[in-house]
Amino acid sequence: MAKIWAFNWKMNPQSFGEAKRLLTYNLQPTTNNKNVEVIICPPFVYLEKLIASAFAKGYGGLRFASQDVFWENKGAYTGEISPIMLKNLGVEYVIIGHSERRKHLAETDEMINKKVLAALKAGLKVILCVGEENRELGIMNKKLVIRKAKSYVKKQLEKDLPPQILKKNLGGLIVAYEPVWAIGTGLADTSEDAAEMIKYIKEFLISNFQFSNPKVLYGGSVGSKNIKDFVQYNEINGFLVGSASLKPLEIGKIIMAINHDK
Ligand code: PGA
């Protein structure tokens, strides 16, 4: 089944030359597999030139995302980037509510809700990040731990998703389940638990927002060592990949691991 690969470069790399090189490495999942959708999420400053460069090289299927967006389209908001600006630049997706922004920039659910609505209204597709902070493994029994994680994520979805999207614009919203404790730690969730969480998120989107075919990604320490476990779950529509996206060899190994099983 075709999967989405969203490569979140975060605040990397430090020059456009490196960004251009990274772009070609991130294209590896599309080799011999036209069904794969690759979304590159570079820092704002590289977006315009990377889109032009991808276009010039004929990478037609490649998509681009910004890592954030503001909720107003114009005005006196120093330092902010508006949804319309991104749309006019040829950007198709935007990541909203990444846990690093929630934590380091005190981004609240209220802000995230406004961003989701503004981005969808501008015609951007949204990758909304949700995920519990802590699994407290070893403290409680597993069923209780997962139940707590579900209830945490449910509250986030209730606050982050604007009611206006009910029955509207549904194809434009993807959720990324990213347990905070798994991000950048090398301690990925188990594929089984991630699939259970994702199934739960999909059920929530279907019953509360009448989505017909919700897409949910997994993110958090995805790499060559665990990718085989994750890809076998049909519930998981793809991956939001952070640190591995910056390592060309690691991306190659991920692809090899997947292809090996075909
Ligand atoms: P990671 O990051 O792959 O480095 O854990 C994922 C993310 O933050 O989206």
Q: What is the pLDDT of residue 137?
A: 62
Q: What is the pLDDT of residue 56?
A: 87
Closest ligand 1 atom number to CA of residue 6: 9
Q: State the distance from the centre of ligand 1 to the C-alpha of 242, rounded, in angstroms.
A: 4
Highest mean pLDDT among 1-10, 162-171, 214-223: 214-223
Please choose, from the candidates 162, 170, 226, 156, the residue with its C-alpha nearest in 3D space to the C-alpha of residue 195.
226
Q: Examine the residue annotation and report whether 18 is marked as an active-site residue of this protein.
A: no
Q: State the pTM of this model.
A: 0.95
Rounded to whole angstroms, how far apart are CA atoms 50 and 46?
6
Q: Examine the residue annotation and report whether 178 is marked as an active-site residue of this protein.
A: yes
Task: For ligand 1, say whether the CB of 8 is within 6 Å of any of its atoms.
Answer: yes
Share of the chain above pLDDT 70, in %: 94
Q: Which pLDDT band holds residue 167 (cuts at 50, 70, 90)?
A: low
Q: What is the pLDDT of residue 92?
A: 96
Please choose, from the candidates 127, 130, 211, 212, the residue with its C-alpha nearest in 3D space to the C-alpha of residue 173.
127
> Cβ atoms within 10 A of the Cβ of 77, count?
12
Q: State the distance from the centre of ligand 1 to the C-alpha of 245, rounded, in angstroms.
A: 9
Rounded to whole angstroms, how far apart are CA atoms 37 and 118?
24
Q: What is the pLDDT of residue 218?
A: 97
By the 10 Å C-beta count (0-12 exposed, 13-18 middle, 19+ buried), 241 is classed as buried
Q: What is the pLDDT of residue 250?
A: 92
Task: For ligand 1, say whether the CB of 6 is within 6 Å of any of its atoms.
Answer: no
In the block, residue with structure tokens 């209220």: 110
Strand partners, 4: 37, 238
Rounded to whole angstroms, how far apart are CA atoms 143 and 91?
41
Residue with the bigger pLDDT between 251 and 243: it is 243
Q: 207 to each of 46, 154, 159, how far by Cα in Å?
A: 39, 12, 16
Task: For ligand 1, say whether the CB of 28 is within 6 Å of any of its atoms.
Answer: no
Best of 7, 8, 95, 133 for a ligand 1 pocket test (most atoms within 8 Å of beta carbon):
8
Nearest alpha carbon, ligand 1 atom 1: 242
Q: 8 to each of 11, 68, 143, 240, 244, how far by Cα in Å?
A: 9, 11, 31, 7, 9
Closest ligand 1 atom number to CA of residue 186: 5
pLDDT, averaged across the chain: 91
Residue with the bigger pLDDT between 242 and 256: it is 242
Task: For ligand 1, say whether the CB of 4 is within 6 Å of any of its atoms.
Answer: no
Please choose, from the candidates 26, 44, 23, 46, the residue with its C-alpha nearest in 3D space to the C-alpha of residue 36.
26
